[in-house]
Homo-oligomer: A and B are copies of this chain.
Amino acid sequence: MTITSGAIPPRDMDPAAWGDPGRRASLPPHARRWLAKEIGLPDRRTPATPMTGLSLPESRIDESVRSALVEVVGEAHFRDDRDTLLRHAGGKSYLDLARRRRGLADVPDAVLLPADHAGVLAVLRICAERGVAVVPFGGGTSVVGGLSPLTGEHPAVISLDLRRLADPVHVDAESLTVTVGPGIRGPELERKLAAHGLTLGHFPQSWEHASLGGYAATRSSGQASSGYGRFDELVVALQLATPRGSMTIGRGPASAAGPDLKALILGSEGVFGVITELTLRVRRLPETVHDEGWSFRTFAEGMTALRRLAQAGLAPDIARLSDADETRANLALAGGNKTRLLKGMLAARGHRGSCLLIAGWEGPHLVVRDRRSAATALLRAAGGIRLGATVGEAWRRHRYDGPYLRDELLDHGALVETLETATSWTDLLGLYDTIRSALRSELSRDGARPLVMTHVSHLYPTGASLYFTALASRDDEDPDGQWQRAKERVSDVITSAGATITHHHAVGTDHRPWLEDEIGGLGIEVLRAVKSVLDPSGVLNPGKLIPEPPK
């Protein structure tokens, strides 16, 4: 396995923006006018401050540690150039971007690119011995602070970039599994699997950039996870490199050999070790992919329809029900004649405050036909109006565009951030109301109200997730505080309602203060005990996931 040394491949994102700059689309005038009216967004441009002016601190890695690390990874894969450091300054949350757009960034002292499992083990041993913190780095798409280069109690921190662990890709066509390195990203893996007629079926919004190892470390969930399963359900086996050595977990498709330690590594966010290999369940490429739109008169009616589908074993592979505000915003931002016609038709049929559902079906022709036909009957009985494939296809075309729109909105002076949770069907509507009210009240300012858009996705027989997008005019006096206060309030609301603090964004730094509410004091002690076995010197991703013990 070799990669071209020298420049880091161009897939790295700009520190202060998402993805490929060529994909940015500017906000059309009708959308700007709508936002001005809706959230009081003034007509202004607030471009990012270039980072050229930012002076980075001296590296805190001493020469002997540097030599030891270089000996493992090679000079070409020990990086401390300005550009590489800035591209490993952290993740892609609103606060991450807002800070970098103001020309501020904390960077690691170096970025290391080990070649393989043995290289990762060797780097971890050196870092543990010499007290250097390690932030495992995959695609760089964390939105919860999981990649912030915190040192903890150590003098220095490195970013451990896993992109070179992208091979081998071994496909077992009989058992339908693939074994991969953690550094491979979705598009490349799907290309390789497609050559075997296979797919992983995991498509989160970060799919173009996120790494497979990142999915595992954060218990990711994708847009098609109602059908294909959450990422943790796809993991058959994995290998973990720790400062204490290796762990390989997962034998056969299922086991009763004590507690499932795989579940302890999935979601460990780099604090127990570095995932260096994954064996994943894959499926045959679907013969049929059919996306369609449905409208419901109210969010509650749509939820009931989804619950019935999920409990009848008829959940679509993709299901995404927007509330009235998200539907209204999507239609307003799309604009155009077709949208006007659609709105007219819905109003005529009593769906003036329509809640749009995107339902996607994938699989063998016959199976999709049977399932769609049963589901259609159920959706109609629940009050749904079928809108046809055009709406569904439009969604699929733009499914990875959200973060580009965010960059554009940031340029226009907006605050824009998302948060998510999951709860039982019984509590879903009540939780929606409470979170939405909290966001609207916290983000209202000077008579302007925020836009809070919500959708239900990720259906389970016992409940579902709720995903919120808040859009407001940014308070440039206190841009961080404006969001932090709202986020804190909502996090309190979520935990006191008995819902989970995160359904698929992970904990990182942002949800860490609420983890004890979720798993209890003994749960936290258990996590600390596991960490003390695998990472006794505490160098792995300090400040993430596990709250500090009381002093």
Contact = CB atoms under 8 A, between A and B. Distances in A.
15 contacts: A174-B426, A176-B462, A177-B462, A219-B260, A230-B254, A236-B462, A251-B500, A251-B518, A254-B458, A256-B502, A256-B504, A257-B518, A261-B519, A370-B370, A530-B530
Given A520-B247, A526-B261, A526-B530, A252 B312 contact: no
Nearest to A268: B259
B511 A257 contact: yes
A501 interface: yes
B461 A307 contact: no
A267 interface: yes
Interface in A227-261: 230, 232, 236, 242, 244-249, 251-261
Given A176-B311, A426-B172, A520-B248, A503 B254 contact: yes
A261 B522 CA distance: 11
Contact size range, A? 35 or more
A212 to B, nearest CB: 16
B256 A221 contact: yes
Given A175-B426, A253-B462, 8 more contacts: A221-B254, A251-B499, A252-B423, A254-B422, A255-B502, A256-B507, A259-B268, A264-B264
A456 B294 CA distance: 43
A176 to B, nearest CB: 6
Contact of A460 (B254, B500, B530): B254
B530 A529 contact: yes
A252 B532 contact: no
Nearest to A311: B176
A256 B523 contact: no
B367 A252 contact: no
A533 interface: yes
A259 B266 contact: yes
B251 A423 contact: yes
Contact of A503 (B256, B284, B507): B256
Please give me the 9 A-B residue pairs with the lowest Cβ-Cβ distance, nearest first.
A263-B263, A253-B460, A253-B463, A252-B422, A255-B500, A219-B256, A175-B424, A529-B529, A260-B263
Contacts of A254: 221, 230, 422, 458, 460, 463, 465, 500, 503
Contacts of A425: 174-176
A421 interface: yes
A503 B426 contact: no
Determine how many copies of this chain the complex contains. 2
A254 B425 CA distance: 12
A226 B421 CA distance: 29
Interface string A513-551: 001001111110111011011100000000001100000
A379 interface: no
A507 B257 contact: yes
B263 A264 contact: yes
A198 to B, nearest CB: 11
A364 interface: yes
Contacts of A464: 253
A311 B367 CA distance: 13
A307 B174 contact: yes
A522 B245 contact: yes
Contacts of A498: 251
B424 A252 contact: yes
A367 B374 contact: yes
A515 B177 contact: no
A258 B504 CA distance: 10
A267 B258 contact: yes
A424 B253 contact: yes
Contacts of A545: 258
A315 to B, nearest CB: 12
A366 interface: yes
A313 interface: yes
A462 B281 contact: yes
Nearest to A218: B256
A152 interface: no
A264 B423 contact: no
A366 B529 CA distance: 51
Nearest to A280: B462
A505 interface: yes
B534 A522 contact: yes
A292 interface: no
B534 A526 contact: yes
Interface in A203-221: 218-221
Contacts of A511: 257
A193 interface: no
A506 interface: yes
Contact of A463 (B252, B313, B505): B252
A265 interface: yes
Contact of A232 (B260, B312, B500, B534): B260
A144 to B, nearest CB: 9
Contact of A175 (B232, B463, B499): B463
A471 to B, nearest CB: 24
A353 interface: no
A386 to B, nearest CB: 20
A100 to B, nearest CB: 25
